[in-house]
Amino acid sequence: MKILLASSELFPFSKTGGLADMVAALARALAQAGHEARVVTPLYRGMLKKFPQIKREDWEFNLPLGPHWIRGGLWSLEPERGLKIYFVEQPEFFDRAGIYHEQNVSYADNDARYIFFSKCVVHLARWLPWHADVVHVHDWQVALVPAMLQQLEREGWGNAPRSCLTIHNLAYQGVFPGESFQLTNLASDFFNPNAAEYFGLVNCLKAGIALADVITTVSPRYAREITTEEYGCGLDGLLRRRMDKLVGVLNGVDYAEWNTTKNPHLFQPYSVTRLAEKKINKLELQRLVALPVDEHIPLYGTISRLAEQKGVDIQLAALEEMLNSNIQFVQLGSGSPEFERGYRELAARFPDKVAVRFGYDESLAHRIEAGCDFFLMPSRFEPCGLNQMYSLRYGTIPIVRATGGLDDSVVDFTESAKTANGIKFFEYSARALSKGIRKSMAIYTNANLLKTYRQNGMKADFSWAKTVGKFVEIYKSTQLS
């Protein structure tokens, strides 16, 4: 099949979270399964310098954005057979220091930036000499694309592609003042409660949920959760109405990037049969982050955006209590200044037990995954979560709250004593997380049990080769409508 994917982030060109990993890996998996995948993404600052193999296309956009006309350029790259990436160049919108924000303040024109980008996606779908069967859009930034495709159909486009929307996180909907609607140049009836309107505001994700031919989200449990008031972020009613078109597919992992045997970031390769070498990564990580180098002290890690979603509040409170035991903790992340302060204070109080690093560091992320004994993910909600799956492959035992994709990907002892590979807790509280950490300390003292958990985790297989067929089925289902 021919699939045109669109995303505001794409690894390794741009990334703030799992979205970038997921879209890159899915596109690659589609190509490797013999399909033609093309991805559209913005050309952000510094990309041409870092990836000089990106070449200019003979193509120019000149598209209406409300009353104005905006020009843009197109660049491309073909990293492997069956896969082509298009980069939309619009320096005023995308040549900036951040992707969505600077110093934690969102860009005031994110509506214009991503409405313009969505228009470029639709324009490519319409005019490329390569006709996609499906346009697969990801998250709110491109969720107006199904509406824009429908508008073109109304105007007479006979064989418009079908649309698929993947929700990576329902908490981010792209909500803007009602006046922003004019930037879309869509017919006015798209601004109604059955499409883009949410109580007088523009809601990009809502338009996608209402109008896409099929909707997916990134784990089966999250697909169920978002139809409830508790997790529905105000859109649960609409999601319940569209339940027959909503499918949960657990994200896969790109093991070519996330593996322990051929990985330039690791201090020492290791594998399920050469597990002892994992220890070198632990000792080197302790040295790197200036913690006491001691293989016997259990080392806990976290890598995450410092956002409410990630359970930072209960994690800080649980660590406060648990750090009185003989454990170490390393964290990498960036986000809310308040949470950063919380971690800084923790590190100041436990200087020889806690190491914190702020900012974005791909290499350190791999080293933490490899060097830690346990990985903490106490999320309040988690659509899928990739780090727990990376942890499993790295033989690092995840301690997770049983929500969304965390529940779907980790096996607790109570579910299967034989295949247990992690620790789950249910209640959203520091107390429940502390209990989980205590369990992990018990596992740590039992060498055989520890090894079994690690091996079970390393053997779990979340490869995209296994998952990609589900997307192909979903794409095919749209061709019948």
Which residues lie near ligand ADP (CB under 6 A)?
17-19, 21, 303-305, 332-334, 360-362, 365, 384-387
Q: Which is nearer to ligand GLC, 31 or 384 (CB)?
A: 384
Minimal distance in Å, beta carbon 228 to ligand ADP?
Answer: 20
- Helix (H) or strand (E) holding 171, with range, is none
- Shortest separation between residue 366's beta carbon and ligand GLC, angstroms: 17
Shortest reach from residue 218's CB to ligand GLC, in Å: 4
Closest separation in Å from C-beta 400 to ligand ADP:
11
Cβ distance to ligand ADP smaller for residue 151 or 396: 396
**Rounded-to-10 torsion of CA 4, 79, 90, 336:** 90
* Minimum gap (Å) between residue 369 Cβ and ligand GLC: 15
What ranges in 64-144 are assigned the alpha helix state H? 91-94, 110-127
How many whole angstroms separate alpha carbon 203 and alpha carbon 180? 10
Contact residues: ligand GLC, CB under 6 A: 17-19, 22, 168-169, 218, 251, 382-386, 405
Q: At what angle do helices 204-211 and 145-154 cross, to 10 degrees?
A: 60
Question: 54 near 48, Cβ under 8 Å?
Answer: yes
Whether the CB-CB separation of 198 and 234 falls below 8 Å is answered with: yes
Q: For ligand ADP, which is the closer residue by CB, 184 or 391?
A: 391
Question: Which C-beta is closer to ligand ADP: that of 304 or that of 434?
Answer: 304
Nearest Cα to Cα of residue 326 among 298, 345, 288, 289? 298
Q: Are 114 and 120 in contact (CB under 8 A)?
A: no
Q: Euclidean distance between the first and final Cα of the chain, in Å?
A: 16
Binder of residue 41, out of ligand GLC, ligand ADP, none (CB less than 5 to 8 A by kind): none
Residue 288 CB neighbours (<10 A): 17
Residue 333, contacted partner among ligand GLC, ligand ADP, none, CB below 5-8 A by kind: ligand ADP
Q: Please identify, using beta-carbon distances, which residue of 72 and 457 lies nearer to ligand GLC.
A: 457
Q: Residue 463: which residues within 8 A CB-CB, separation 6 or more?
A: 252, 253, 255
The C-alpha atoms of residue 302 and residue 396 are separated, in whole angstroms, by 11
147 to 110, 137, 206: CA distances (angstroms): 18, 12, 11
72 binds, among ligand ADP, ligand GLC, none (CB under 5 to 8 A by kind): none
Q: Which is nearer to ligand GLC, 151 or 387 (CB)?
A: 387
If contact means CB under 5 to 8 A according to the sort of partner, which of ligand GLC, ligand ADP, none does residue 218 touch? ligand GLC
- Name the strand (E) or helix (H) holding 368: helix 362-371
304 binds, among ligand GLC, ligand ADP, none (CB under 5 to 8 A by kind): ligand ADP
> Which one, 146 or 311, has the nearer CB to ligand ADP?
311
305 binds, among ligand ADP, ligand GLC, none (CB under 5 to 8 A by kind): ligand ADP
Distance (Å, whole) CA 314 – CA 320: 10
Q: Which does 478 bind (CB under 5 to 8 A by kind): ligand ADP, ligand GLC, none?
A: none
Closest CB 403 distance from ligand GLC, rounded Å: 10
Angle at 334 between CA 358 and CA 330, to 5 degrees: 50
Rounded to the nearest whole angstrom, what is the least distance from the CB of residue 55 to ligand ADP in the complex? 28
Amino acid making up residue 430: A
> From ligand ADP, ligand GLC, none, which one binds at residue 360 (CB under 5 to 8 Å depending on kind)?
ligand ADP
Q: Which residue is nearest to ligand ADP (CB)?
A: 18
Distance of CA 12 to the CA centre of its chain: 13
Q: Residue 256 CB, nearest distance to ligand GLC (Å)?
A: 17
Nearer to ligand GLC, 16 or 452 (CB): 16
Q: How far is the CB of 385 from ligand GLC (least distance, A)?
A: 5
The structure tokens listed for 59 are: 């193509």
| Closest CB to ligand GLC among residues 110, 169 | 169
Question: Which residues 6+ apart lie within 8 Å of 268 measured at CB?
Answer: 277, 278, 280, 281, 284
Using CB atoms, what's the residue nearest to ligand GLC? 18
The CA-based angle 30-269-23, given to 5 degrees, is: 20
